[in-house]
Amino acid sequence: MYHLLKGLHEYLTRKDEFSVLILGLDGAGKTTFLEKVKGLYTNHPGLSPDKIAPTVGQNIGKITLPSTILQFFDLGGQSGIRSIWSRYYDDCHAVVYVLDAADHERLNEGWEVFDSLLSSPKILHLPLLLLANKQDSPGHLSVEEIRENYEQWYQGKKDSARRMYGEESDVKHERFASLDVMGISALEGTGVRTAVDWLFIRVQNSKRK
Ligand SMILES: Nc1nc2c(ncn2[C@@H]2O[C@H](COP(=O)(O)OP(=O)(O)OP(=O)(O)O)[C@@H](O)[C@H]2O)c(=O)[nH]1
Ligand SMILES: [Mg+2]
């Protein structure tokens, strides 16, 4: 009887654990986002933004939601350390790609890196959320403008690829068309709960459990 009740208790209180990768260029706001998530969902206040240094390696954060644990891995975005990202692809259940929507000069670089993510078969079919961060900054692009900016970048890339190699598959473009893009301010916390809600729902349906 004891074992039956123990088993029932374990079953009722069991939590599925999912890993979420936070990727994006250096300075996009990944760590600021993670620290805001920690502040909102744990008993510990996240680091204040003025204490956050560029990430060399990884930051980890775990939050508990109903019947679910989300384990976040925030990886450094500097070009020299992006090569470590792929080591995390096998074991993650969802990816958040953070873009600095106010840094017009680095948008193309952000798309190049994002495009290389879509080229990884391990990532392509996972839940993927694009966060257009820094919506509080003057001159930021809205979600709609970010989508248009990607379209322009993509068409330019496709045209030059066609000139060099002929027609190529549009699978990445289709993936982007169905992609969820959210505007947030990691600094102020706007939209952060909506992003976590999205992850919570999407990982439940993820094939890779
Ligand atoms: N205005 C504004 N600034 C932000 C926001 N999010 C982050 N920042 C600022 O952007 C800078 C970089 O933020 P980080 O969180 O360190 O960026 P990161 O993506 O973790 O960068 P790496 O660790 O180098 O990959 C810091 O000065 C942050 O305060 C935001 O929503 N609005
Ligand atoms: Mg960081």
The bound ligand whose nearest atom lies closest to the alpha carbon of 26 is: 1
Ligand 1 center–CA 147 separation, angstroms? 21
- CATH class name, domain 15-204: alpha beta
Amino acid (1-letter code) at residue 77: G
Nearest CA residue ID for atom 32, ligand 1: 134
In degrees and rounded to multiples of 5, residue 121 shows phi and psi of -60, -25
CB 122 within 8 A of CB 188: no
Cβ 45 vs Cβ 37: under 8 Å: no
**Number of the ligand 1 atom closest to the C-alpha atom of 133:** 31
Instruction: Give the pLDDT mean for 13-42.
Output: 95
Q: Which carries the bigger pLDDT value, residue 93 or residue 162?
A: 93
pLDDT score for 205: 82
Residue 56 CB coordination number (10 Å): 9
- Cβ burial of 95 (10 Å; 0-12, 13-18, 19+) is buried
What is the enclosing helix (H) or strand (E) of 70?
Answer: strand 68-75
Q: What is the pLDDT of residue 168?
A: 60
* DSSP summary character for residue 180: E
Question: Contact at 8 Å (CB) between 137 and 102?
Answer: yes
Q: Which ligand does the CA of 33 lie closest to?
A: 1
pLDDT > 60? residue 209 = no
Give 62 Cα–ligand 2 centroid separation in angstroms.
16
What is the predicted pLDDT for the residue at 46?
86
Ligand 1 binding pocket, CB closer than 6 Å: 24, 26-32, 49, 52, 54-55, 76-78, 133-134, 136-137, 185-187
CA of 2 to the centre of ligand 2 (A): 48
* Tokens coding 160: 């030059």
- Which residue has the least CA distance to atom 6 on ligand 1? 29
Chain center to CA of 182: 11
Q: What is the pLDDT of residue 119?
A: 86
Q: Which pLDDT belongs to residue 164?
A: 67
* Ligand (nearest to CA of 80): 1
- ipTM of the complex in this document: 0.99
Residue among 59, 75, 72 nearest 25 (CA): 75
User: Scanning the structure block, which residue is given the tokens 């017009």?
Assistant: 104
Return the pLDDT at 13: 76
* 197 CA from centroid of ligand 1 (Å): 22
Residue 172 CB coordination number (10 Å): 18
Pairing of strands 94-100, 68-75: unpaired
